[in-house]
Amino acid sequence: MKTEQLYKIFRESKGISTDSRTISEGQIFFALWGDNYNGNKFAEEAINRGASWAVIDDPAFETEKTILVDDCISELQALATHHRKEMNASVLAITGTNGKTTTKELLSDILSKKLKVHSTKGNLNNQIGVPLTILSAPERTELMIIEMGANHIGEIRTLCLIAKPDYGIITNIGTAHIEGFGSFEGVVKAKIELYEHLRKVNGIALFNNKDQLLSEKIFRLVNRAVPFSDPTGIKLVIKSEPSALNLSLTATYQHKTYKIRTHLFGNYNIENIKAAIATGLFFGVDMKDIAAAVRKYEPENIRSQVIVT
């Protein structure tokens, strides 16, 4: 079946699931493969639990309620790309060695003050998570915030081909999780694939102009770039303030200074907050609303959390 035909079925469905155990009535089940499982074996179970269709790639499991494709993962990605084209929404991609999820969550809260935002849930940021994020976007979404992870060169390029971002942020480039890249130079090459995509589509990169490496790559690779310190043509100054535990900071913009006490812990989060505030301003969110969103944001999944016992 062609992607266009499958897309028509998808539009009439209740969404996509890759887990036969939790599938909801009317969803389409995609029989994905893993290192230790063959999703085709669970197609019948998914249908019995209420799936409208099961997308499979092994003819041995065909029934009247299955759709046979060459490769389930490739078809899931193609379906997401088609949905991305059909939606009247922009895409902001976030990648980097550290800070992706925190920056994404802060930005989701901030940009939701002005736009209908749909963002990556948790850290579903790989070749399966990104398509699922796109395919779960509500119809009236105005902006998708897509987190992109990578453990080898070429992965960000592939995710960009799926999500086709208009805007992009690389939070930083470090040596963590270096195994799949071979060297620090390999990490750099992998991360800047986002910048290379933005150059091709004349997209906009928002970047930390205090980061020498990112600044160097920006000016070599991207046609349109917005620095965190000057997101709207007006200077933005963010400074950390002394605090007992959680981060406190001041943000000065348009001759006004906003004091912000956060629920975040760790000075490394200052850069994530800068990225979120600057990007919020770039997208036209009022600074008062940005400050309120940062104050209110509470991290989850044991990220920058302090538990008192």
CATH of the domain at 56: 3.40.1390.10
Query: What's the confidence (pLDDT) of residue 306?
Result: 53
Reference 213, options 251, 267, 175; nearest CA is 175
Q: Tell me, yes or no, whether 305 lies in a domain.
A: no
Torsion of CA 82, 84, 87, 92, to 10 degrees: -170
Which residue segment(s) compose the domain that 14 sits in? 3-71
Together in a domain, 96 and 51? no
Does one domain contain both 62 and 112? no
pLDDT digits (tens, 9 = 90+) for 65-109: 999 999 999 999 999 999 999 999 999 999 999 999 999 999 999
Same domain for 245 and 104: yes
Question: For the range 232-239, what are the long-range contacts, defined as Cβ-Cβ under 8 Å and sequence gap of 24 or more?
Answer: 232/281, 232/282, 236/277, 236/278, 236/281, 238/270, 238/273, 238/274, 238/277
Residues 164 and 56 placed together within one structural domain of the fold: no
Looking at the DSSP assignment, which residues form a beta bridge with residue 194?
Answer: none
Is there a domain that residue 80 lies in? no
Sheet of 53-56: strand order equals 16-17, 28-30, 53-56, 66-68
**110 and 31 inside one domain:** no
Q: Mean pLDDT across the chain, nearest whole number? A: 94
Choose among 55, 45, 47: nearest CA to 78: 55
**Among residues 71, 105, 122, which one ends one of the domains?**
71
State how many domains the chain has: 2
User: Do residues 216 and 285 share a domain?
Assistant: yes
- Do 147 and 284 lie in one domain? The reply is yes
Considering the domain architecture, whether residues 53 and 110 belong to the same structural domain is answered as no
CA 139 remoteness from chain centre: 18
How far is residue 199 from each of residues 133, 147, 202, 227, 268, measured CA to CA in Å?
24, 19, 5, 16, 29
Q: Residue 99 is part of a domain; what is its CATH number?
A: 3.40.1190.10
What pLDDT, on a 0 to 100 scale, did the predictor assign at position 303?
Answer: 55
The answer to whether residues 97 and 134 belong to one domain is yes
- Model pLDDT, residue 309: 46
- Could you tell me if residue 303 is inside a domain? no
pLDDT in tens, the chain (309 residues): 899 999 999 999 999 999 999 999 999 999 998 888 899 999 999 999 999 999 999 999 999 999 999 999 999 999 999 999 999 999 999 999 999 999 999 999 999 999 999 999 988 999 999 999 999 999 999 999 999 999 899 999 999 999 999 999 999 998 876 777 889 999 999 999 999 999 999 999 999 999 999 999 999 999 999 999 999 999 999 999 987 788 999 999 999 999 999 999 888 899 999 999 999 999 999 999 999 999 999 998 655 555 554
Return the structure tokens found at 205.
């990169």
**Are 109 and 235 members of one domain?**
yes
Q: Are residues 105 and 189 in the same domain?
A: yes
Claim to verify: residue 58 and residue 165 sit in the same structural domain: no
Helix (H, G, I), strand (E, B) or coil at 54: strand
